[in-house]
Amino acid sequence: MSTSSTPTSPRTPPRTIVYVDGFNFYYGAVKGGPYKWLNLERFFKLLRPHDNLCQIHYFTALVNGPTLPNQQTYLRALETLPLVNIILGNYKAKRVACTLAACTYTGSRWFSTVEEKRTDVNIAVQMMEDAYEDRCDQLILVSGDSDLVPPVIRVRNLGKKVLVCIPAQNPTRGAAVELRSVADAAKVLPLVPLLSRAQFPATIPDGSGGTISKPPTW
């Protein structure tokens, strides 16, 4: 007596969009290391080899100060990648009072600083838009910021899966308890050996006949 079985079709790869909180990623994953010249498209393809990677949204703001040229060079490099979309916020100057009780300074307790603005809102809006327009099956949020809890909840209510990857090199930064609690899954973003395997070449074509070179200090 012979038996037959119905062949199973291969699983359709999930349509995936990645949302990278640029400063969260920089301070949690690459600051102080040798892997800042990172090809984000290559990195996330290595991280999610079985997904249909549709888009990588990279959220940042142009810094004030001597590191701006390096940042601008890196953004030009990212612009050469077909899947990467850069969304800029901005920096806003503000005055902040020193609240350190042990400080014995007798002068003004106020000092000037800058604050990154709009990134959380930009991420939330883009996540909601992509979910409503059914551009993906799952969203990967690269951040540990608890301000993003509401959009994660809303996107999941729309039937989309949300994976949170926390960029962190230490356990305290990687806790992100609130964000972990509302995601379908959450983990610390794997860095080794992906960072070293996903670097741009030292010099890359800019798409207009010129080249873009890795900043010397990187």
Structure tokens at 179: 């964000």
Assigned architecture for domain 15-213:
3-Layer(aba) Sandwich (3.40)
Rg (the chain; Cα; Å): 20
Sorted by where each begins, the domain ranges of the chain are 15-213
Per-residue pLDDT of 123-140, as tens digits, reads: 999 999 999 999 999 999
The predicted structure's pLDDT at residue 112? 44
Least confident of 114-123, 138-147, 177-186: 114-123
Query: What does the pLDDT average to over 65-91?
Result: 94
Structure tokens at 36: 């800042």
Please give the model's pTM, rounded to 2 decimal places. 0.86
Contact 163, 138 (CB under 8 A): yes
Three-state DSSP state, 171: helix
Per-residue pLDDT of 140-178, as tens digits, reads: 999 999 999 999 999 999 999 999 999 987 767 678 999
The predicted structure's pLDDT at residue 77? 98
